[in-house]
Amino acid sequence: MTDVAVLGAGMHPWGKWGRSFVSYGTAAARAALADAGLDWRDVGSVVGADTVRGGYPGYVAGATFARALGWQGARVTSVYAACASGAQAIGTARAQILAGLADVVLVVGADAAPKGFFAPAGGDRPDDPDWLRFRVLGATNPAYFGLYARRRMALYGDTPEDFAQVKVKNAAAGALNPLARYRTPVSAAEVAASAVVADPLRLLDICATSDGGAALVLSSMGFARRHGHPDPVRIRAVSTVTPVYPRTVLDLPDVATDSAAAVPAPRRSFRSSIARAAYEEAGLGPEELSLAEVYDLSTALELEWYEDIGLCARGEGAKLLREGATALGGRIPVNASGGLASFGEAVPAQAIAQVCELTWQLRGTAGDRQVPGARAGITANQGLFGHGSAVVAVR
């Protein structure tokens, strides 16, 4: 048995609040503990997802949150994997529970992001691919998103109108989510009228940077049953796989691909391998999903994820969108939370927030955005330097 129970889920609303990441994370942690019906002293381990924007406390987030909640002797771990940090934290917590090291683990991630696009860390580091892509290519994140959108247009015939409809869909869902930063429906005309940032993507095609926090209380199945949770939401798989050689599609922060002159290209892309590993571990396939939460850094990248997690064949993401399959009320809603389009990036928190949304959906407590009869869901994103991130949750 590899299941662990999700006893509690909590978030601090996303936005620009002007406070420390610690305040967002502790608020989310307290909300998750209250949701679980547990006291902080019941927690045997804390796993914090690190932020590089909070100074030294951000680098040791597990201890930072444990100190803010009040030292009580719990085991502590801090992890960093860029945008996959939250999934790494969930995977670490799950491993500790399954190893018998703790019955109850609190997972927390939070960030206080700067306004505008993310910039490289300070200093000159010519051996650092992330530093090089900013300084040598001038490749900000939106520049990369624009290149990826152009690639989809060239290969599959996607259009800027298709990209705009992703924003329309996610904004409609986010308008129903009280924790989202942006809660106003958006029309395709409004997307088209917004400023061009990285052609063909416009301002409303790209997610913002945000402050926010998210937390989960995980436990062994035995603890859950002993404490009044006979049928909890369960995490059944956590995928944190890495790519295989050669990588023939450019991915941040790389500035070149591997050569496939002597070695054939891999049968599946890195992102599709993330989901495949999660499905194999969970013992289910994409046809059994009720919903998915994916990493919509840009509208075009959401369409790519439809294909990577197996909702449709390669190149058919826009077709699935046009059919309405991925909207609320559709066959397989994607980003029922509103996604990053409605929240923005709070990097260490976002993979945890995705699992919070799955938890509420699988419990049937998601309110006006509820996916009827939800029984299984997957999250998917990735972090820089080949960090995979996918979680499968079931009820």
* Backbone dihedral angles phi then psi of residue 387, each to the nearest 5 degrees: -95, 110
Q: Highest-confidence range of 121-125, 184-188, 227-231, by mean pLDDT?
A: 184-188
pLDDT at 261: 81
Q: Are residues 16 and 78 in the same domain?
A: yes
121 inside domain: no
Q: Are residues 225 and 323 in the same domain?
A: no
Please return the burial class of 196, using the count of CB atoms within 10 Å of its CB with bins 0-12, 13-18 and 19+: exposed
Confidence of residue 18 (pLDDT cuts 50, 70, 90): very high
Q: Which CATH number characterizes residue 38's domain?
A: 3.40.47.10
pLDDT at 12 over 90: yes
29-33, 133-137, 205-209, 301-305: least confident range: 133-137
**pLDDT of 334-375, one tens digit each?**
999 999 999 999 999 999 999 999 999 999 999 999 999 999
pLDDT at 268 over 80: yes
Provide the b/e sequence for 197-227 (b: ≥16 CB within 10 Å). Answer: bbebbbebbbbbbbbbbbbbbbbbbebbeeb
Block residue for tokens 């699988």: 362
Backbone torsion region of residue 310, taken as left when φ is above 0, otherwise alpha when ψ lies between -120 and 50, otherwise beta: left
122 inside domain: no
Range of the domain at 335: 129-205+236-394
pLDDT at 386: 87
Q: Are residues 144 and 286 in the same domain?
A: yes
Share of the chain above pLDDT 70, in %: 100
Q: Are residues 162 and 226 in the same domain?
A: no
pLDDT at 1 over 80: no
Count of domains observed in the chain: 2
Q: Are residues 221 and 196 in the same domain?
A: no
pLDDT at 342: 98
- The average confidence (pLDDT) of the chain is 95
Block residue for tokens 């029984």: 375
123 inside domain: no
Strands (E), 44-180: 45-49, 75-79, 104-112
Distance CA 121, CA 227 (A): 45
User: pTM (2 decimals)?
Assistant: 0.96
